[in-house]
Amino acid sequence: MSRIVSFVILLWLGMMPAWGGSRVALFLPDDTPFWNRVALFARAAAGDLDAQLTVFDADADRLKLLRQLKQVSSTPDRFDAWLFPNFLRTAGHFLVQCQRLETPCILFNSGLADDQLGAPRRPNPQWIAQLIPDDTGSSMEITRELIQQARQNNSDRPIAIAAVNGYQADAPAIKREEGLRQVAETTDGARLKQVFYTDWGAQQAYVRTAGLLRRYPAVNVIWSANYRTTNGILEALDDAGRTPGRDVLVNGYDINPQALSQVADGRVAVTAGGHYVEGAWAVILAHDYLTGKDFQDQGLVFHTPLLIVTRDNVENVQTVLGRIEKEPDSLYRVDFSQYSRAENPNLKDYDFSLREVLRDYQDASAPER
């Protein structure tokens, strides 16, 4: 979905739709493929829930984002809810302002760097929810899949795992490593040799991988923290004369076109991603809260499941996401109101997964018989 056309997003920025309903502000760090997908899914959900959505793009500029916050704060009657990530630790500023203005807000995509501002509803009642990718759970699934495939390749060979992570203090790195360790350290026949830390970039991942291959020549699984570290790992394996997918199994951590191609080609054993769908989930939670359907019984921190992709399902995922990439408006075929508890009183639990959306998209796109 990396080529979702920018003009579709730009048409949304700073514009208020013509329909009525709740007025929601969505703050995004930048106009990149990932954040464009967040906006696309948010817009699709807003349309089905009769919500007015305004998207603010910070152009990767922290100061611009804070200026946008000041702009919105100076007209507190304009929006009924704010949705924002913790871009360069700006979430604290948003939380202070939403409490001052008594405007419900939802933090998504990332958590706070510390706990000084508490948690949703405690002590700030306007911080109504938080959406975070299920980094621990997805990492556990990835690790299990890597171990399973390693056993299939050679059932008699010990499974030696090395890991290339991001910054040691970053929340996603911490949570993903927790998932890795929970599985690797409790699975018979598997051993985690060492975790190497990087700046999340391909170059440092290349250097770390080249070093670990010299230190642990028998390693047959290299766990990766994100798609950039995966690219560095693959390059280092190639340069070392090792064949990814045969000599060493590697995972990805995204479902962009490149990652899906790597899985289809067999160079990457498994990947996970798709948490840009949180754009839709944040809109749905805001809508339900504003229409009187509080979700405290469901919890206040939601861990968004990541879509797990292997060679078994990669062709289907490529087809569906490729269609959405070429025709972004086709996502409007999905009725996002079906995921709202306010719109569906009999709906007991939220299902905040990309898998469900893609299945509904396929059903809606299937030709009538």
Nearest Cα to 52, choosing from 93, 83, 73?
83
Its pTM stands at 0.85
Rounded Cα distance, 107 and 328, in Å:
25
> What's the CA angle centered on 172, arms 96 and 140, to 5 degrees?
135
- Please state the three-class secondary structure of 286-303 as a single string: HHHHHCCCCCHHHCCEEE
Tens of pLDDT, residues 289-323: 999 999 999 999 999 999 999 999 999 999 999 99
Tens of pLDDT, residues 214-273: 999 999 999 999 999 999 999 999 999 999 999 999 999 999 899 999 999 999 999 999
Token digits of residue 267: 């160079």
Contact between 209 and 222 under an 8 Å Cβ cutoff? The reply is yes
Q: What is the largest CA-CA distance in the chain?
A: 67
Nearest Cα to 237, choosing from 225, 219, 253, 255?
219
Q: Which residues, other chains included, contact 5 with Cβ-Cβ below 8 Å and sequence gap of 6+? A: 328
